[in-house]
A and B are shown apart, each in its own frame.
Chain A
Amino acid sequence: MAQKTYAGIAVDVNDEGYLTNAGSWTNEIAVAIAQEEDIVLTEKHFAVLYFIRQKTSAGEALSLRSIGKSGIVDAKQFYELFPGAPLKKASRIAGIPKPSSCV
């Protein structure tokens, strides 16, 4: 575990850069983390981030499928917003733990 400073605020992160405490997240922190991924956040990005945070706090598992069927974006748009590995990137920017692609 380590500490990183985003938008002037020190937060705890794990060894992969994910926030260990989802409650410490703010919009400004999201923008700062997104910058590390060369992403400039728009309203659409934030709509997805809020969706992800809401699902996670409700204890629901995230998947490309559930985000693609969220009504906010489809899978292709999700990839355009967070290129490469969208689920991992969006989760980190949203300040939630890494998605457990467990089984």
Chain B
Amino acid sequence: MHIFAKRFTAVSIKSVIQIPNRLKMNKLVILGAGTGGTLMANKLRKKLSRSEWEITIVDKEPEHYYQPGFLFIPFGIYQSRQVVKPKRRFLPKGVSYIEAAIEKVMPESNEVFLADGTNLNYDYLIIATGTDIVPSETPGLDGNQWHKSIFDFYTIKGAESLSRAIDGFNGGNFVVSLVELPFKCPVAPLEFAFLADSYFKKKGIRDKVNISYVTPLSGAFTKPKATRMLGDLMKQKNITLIPDFNIEQVDNDSKKLVSYDGREVPFDLLTVVPVNMGAEYVGRSGMGDDLNFVPTNKHTLQSEKWDNVFVLGDAANIPTSKAGSVVHFAAEILYENFLLAIKGKPLLAKFDGHANCFIITGIGEGTLIDFNYDVEPLPGTFPLPVIGPMKLLKVNRLNYWGKMAFKWAYWNLLIKGRHMPISTHMSMAGKKAG
């Protein structure tokens, strides 16, 4: 895979800003029609006058995926059709939708070149093309065992293949692993391991299955309190934690994970979160870091280099989780700053890195974490003090059903830009800081 890496100099290069005026049609181009792109198209089309602003959104795939649902497909809890809908359905009237792959962006001349040879000019660009798995970054991962005994659940195809493999699994080494940080939905592999434990228990064969969790981290998670809580849950569920393990390569013949320092983990069925990278065109355009994520101001969401380019969601390099909830909260901030930017005003809205994530801990049970750039996941209640009703860092049934109910909210409220009753900035209300 070709990676075009470029180091940014300390001097930023600003492109010519077109101050919108009533005599000319201004152009906003949104790259990516996933969660972030769809949300921004809805919010901005409502607000920006059609006589002054043309909005175009570009995506290479016609299908919109509810990615949190992929976790449930391998265990037969969801079917694919429940988590896939046509993208068009969620885009508002008055937004042009172009289904095409992106070849390159030339930010110095405000142009986007599409793979079909056409190009788009823009006054403002929002990059929301997300992140994808790149198994080829790890030697042996996409070898002859890929989707035979080695699976991902970050794609529909991977999740469906995995579903068949799990259905036919009768015992042995069931290994869950993550290659490298960052990757989208940091809790997903944990949830997967917990669900596997539940699933095999229900099937009556848990004692024949040896579940291991292989991670480059030193613990189950990143921040101390959550790491302790999740590590304890792993012990309770007899999931072996194998920390500080950086995968150098996967041996397809002897079916083993091999680390840089020569440790080996044998597997019969391996579920892996491969290296995550931003879209290839980002690298081709010289706009990304060595993982194709776009350097972005973590508070204003403006690109570090070009004043008329904003980045939303997984495509950015901001130091918070790559997660849908983050996109939702960040979109509120981007919306405000975009409206200020087009008036030539300072970008006053500040994103605090807020993330709010359900963690499924078994079939029918779950917990919840709520955090931001400065505050790690803390125990307490959410969203209201005492009343909750969700409990943070505690396991209960309500949190599980909260996650399941969220699918409806996603399709019907979130991506359509409709109001959701959760505050954009993380609140300390209800949290125990001690």
In the complex, which residues 93-123 of chain B have their Cβ closer than 8 Å to any Cβ of chain A? none
* A-B contact number at CB 8 A: 43
Does B218 touch A at the CB level, under 8 Å?
yes
Specify which of A76, A79, A88, A103 is in contact with B182 (CB 8 Å cutoff): A103
Q: A63-B181, A85-B244, A103-B181 known; A75 and B218 CB under 8 Å?
A: no
A87 to chain B, nearest CB (A): 9
A46 to B319, CA, bound (A): 28
Does A1 touch B at the CB level, under 8 Å?
no
Does B180 touch A at the CB level, under 8 Å?
yes
A3 to chain B, nearest CB (A): 23
The answer to whether B180 touches A64 (Cβ under 8 A) is: yes
Does B92 touch A at the CB level, under 8 Å?
no
Interface string of B227-271 (1 = CB under 8 A from A): 000000000000000001010100000000000110000000000
Does A66 touch B at the CB level, under 8 Å?
yes
Do most interface residues of chain A lie in helix, strand or loop, or is the interface mixed? loop
Specify which of B218, B222, B290 is in contact with A66 (CB 8 Å cutoff): B290
Chain A residues with CB below 8 A from B217, complex form: 101
A78 to B322, CA, bound (A): 28
The answer to whether B261 touches A79 (Cβ under 8 A) is: yes
Interface string of B302-346 (1 = CB under 8 A from A): 000000000000000001111000000000000000000000000
The answer to whether B180 touches A76 (Cβ under 8 A) is: no
Q: Which of A63, A76, A102, A103 gathers most chain B CB within 10 Å?
A: A103
Chain B residues with CB below 8 A from A42, complex form: none
Does A100 touch B at the CB level, under 8 Å?
yes
A103 to chain B, nearest CB (A): 5
- The number of chain A residues with a CB under 8 A from chain B is 18
Chain B residues with CB below 8 A from A66, complex form: 290
Chain A residues with CB below 8 A from B68, complex form: none
The answer to whether B290 touches A69 (Cβ under 8 A) is: yes
Q: A65-B290, A79-B260 known; A102 and B222 CB under 8 Å?
A: yes
The answer to whether A63 touches B260 (Cβ under 8 A) is: no
Does B430 touch A at the CB level, under 8 Å?
no
Does A97 touch B at the CB level, under 8 Å?
no
A94 to B322, CA, bound (A): 29
The answer to whether A103 touches B260 (Cβ under 8 A) is: no
Chain B residues with CB below 8 A from A88, complex form: 218
A83 to B321, CA, bound (A): 29
Q: A101-B217, A102-B222 known; A84 and B261 CB under 8 Å?
A: yes
Chain A residues with CB below 8 A from B322, complex form: 103
Specify which of B180, B222, B244, B321 is in contact with A65 (CB 8 Å cutoff): B180
A79 to B245, CA, bound (A): 11
Chain B residues with CB below 8 A from A103, complex form: 181-182, 186, 222, 319-322
Q: Which of A66, A79, A101 gathers most chain B CB within 10 Å?
A: A101
B24 to chain A, nearest CB (A): 39
Interface string of A91-103 (1 = CB under 8 A from B): 0000000001111
Does B140 touch A at the CB level, under 8 Å?
no
List 4 tightest A-B contacts by C-beta distance, closest first.
A79-B260, A79-B261, A103-B321, A85-B244
Residue ranges of B at the interface with A (Cβ–Cβ < 8 Å): 180-182, 186, 216-218, 222, 244, 246, 248, 260-261, 290-291, 319-322
Known: A83-B261, A103-B319. 15 other contacts (CB 8 A): A61-B319, A64-B180, A64-B260, A75-B246, A75-B260, A88-B218, A101-B181, A101-B216, A101-B222, A102-B319, A103-B181, A103-B182, A103-B222, A103-B320, A103-B321
Residue ranges of A at the interface with B (Cβ–Cβ < 8 Å): 61, 63-66, 69, 75-76, 78-79, 83-85, 88, 100-103
Q: What are 18 residue pairs bridging A and B, where the CB atoms are less than 8 Å apart in the complex?
A: A63-B181, A64-B180, A64-B246, A64-B260, A69-B290, A75-B248, A75-B260, A76-B248, A78-B260, A79-B260, A85-B218, A101-B217, A101-B222, A102-B222, A103-B181, A103-B186, A103-B222, A103-B322
